[in-house]
Amino acid sequence: MAFATVLAASVVPAHAEPDETDDTAVETTSEPPVSSGSTDAQQSTAEADDTRPSDPAADDPGEKSKSDDEAVAEKSTPDVERPEKLIVASWGGAYGESQRRAYFAPFQSESGIAIEAVSHNGKFDVLDPENANKPKWDVIDLNAKALDQACRSGWLEKVDLAALRAANDGTAVRDDFFPGSLHECGVPSVAWSSVIVFDKRALKKRTPKTAKDFFDVKRFPGKRALPRSTKYTLELALMADGVEPDEVYDVLATDDGIDRALKRLDAIRKHIVWWERAYEPLALLENGTASMATAFNGRVFSAIVADGKPFGIIWDGQVFDVDLWAIPKGTPHVKSAKDFIAFATRPAQLAKQAGWFPYGPMRKSAVELVGRHPEVNVDMSAFIPTSEPNFKRALRLNASWWKEHEERLQERFKVWVIGDGGSADSGADAESENALQ
């Protein structure tokens, strides 16, 4: 796989919340099973919040004396028969290639079970047992919103913490995953985020460092590119106004909180350039239309590392979301599916994926193992959302909160935008990341 393809974060579906208007068709293209003779490129890494968590009640393997194999054998549901392959639905592109290198090929080498990777569009309702065209997937990579909806509908197997491996230093599974990320129907894999990115050419005198700087057009002149969306925009405005990440949604739930966010945006109203598709903010920086923007971190990494763009990243005030591994109800290969998830969420494998692709492992011990990109020798820890320096003032996007409050906030946001001469459609959400090709 060529370097440019592995880094092509700007052309693959990523993981922003799906647009509600997208259809639910499943992409039928698939990759062939990984050959047991496949070899990965040399990996330089060493072995290695959701606010509405539904934490499994299984015993913590970090506190057991039993071996991992014994725990898996005792807790896992037997397969009808040992499969020759598992069908894993994920997102394809460069992200899928990083999964192949970190998870699929190594799992086949260790287990003898091939992985057939297929692409899906991020919609949870394709998992409905009543769907006559329900695909025969054994494992699926879902964002938090889709997973929670599918879990509530009873369309996913419950996870088994006893099947997961403790950290290399013995840290228990519950303590090693980031707080609030474990879900009764899914095991967290990676985090991706909306970050602030700036053009170093336009801001030579001073370097912006915080979310507050994004709103300071006197010290950091130039246009600001923002998504035409309540999500990401209102959270950033509040954090820039001094609200701590763990208080943002409580504040935003009040009328005073909405007023506070919009007042912060008022300070840069005349300087805002709205974007609607995820590739646009980086293009606006490149052509000089804006000096600062919010954009998704995978695309920013690609622009800086693969394309050599003179951009800088501000991690303060990042808004991140999480992908999780899940098992659709009805697969006859539950045990092998659980074995795959246990393998794919080992610290060493999570670190290996982050070595190829700039999404942050959701285990603390895995973050510590992230090293340099095997082909271009850049320090990947500088580009992942969950590394310690980048994660200090991070906010997890709360999909269930938005489901409850989004309609009201959209109406307020539309009124605010129209007040600046916008149209009645100006409050529509920007197109989602994972709808983009």
H-type helices in 267-396, by residue range?
280-286, 297-301, 334-344, 347-356, 364-367
- Residue that has been written with the tokens 């014994």 in this structure: 70
How many Å apart are CA 431 and CA 22, to the nearest integer? 10
How many Å apart are CA 287 and CA 276, to the nearest integer? 17
With a pLDDT cut of 70, the percent of the chain lying above it is: 77
Ranges 64-68, 76-80, 98-102, 274-278: which has the least confidence: 64-68
The secondary structure of residue 211, as a DSSP letter, is: H
Structure tokens at 143: 């964002």
Cα-to-chain-centroid distance, residue 321:
5
How many Å apart are CA 3 and CA 244, to the nearest integer? 39
H or E element at residue 9: none
The residue-averaged pLDDT of 176-203 equals 96
pLDDT of residue 89: 96
Q: How far is CA 390 from CA 128, 155, 296, in A?
A: 38, 35, 14
pTM for this model (two decimals): 0.81
With a pLDDT cut of 90, the percent of the chain lying above it is: 71
What's the half-sphere exposure (Cβ side, CA atoms, 13 Å) at 25?
5
CB distance 349 to 343 below 8 Å: yes
pLDDT of residue 123: 80
pLDDT tens digits along 240-253: 999 999 999 999 99
H-type helices in 225-368, by residue range?
233-240, 248-252, 255-266, 280-286, 297-301, 334-344, 347-356, 364-367
Could you tell me the domains of the chain?
3-191+322-382 (3.40.190.10), 192-320+393-435 (3.40.190.10)
**Residue 286 pLDDT exceeds 50:** yes
Residue in 336, 329, 341, 330 with CA at minimum distance from that of residue 77: 336
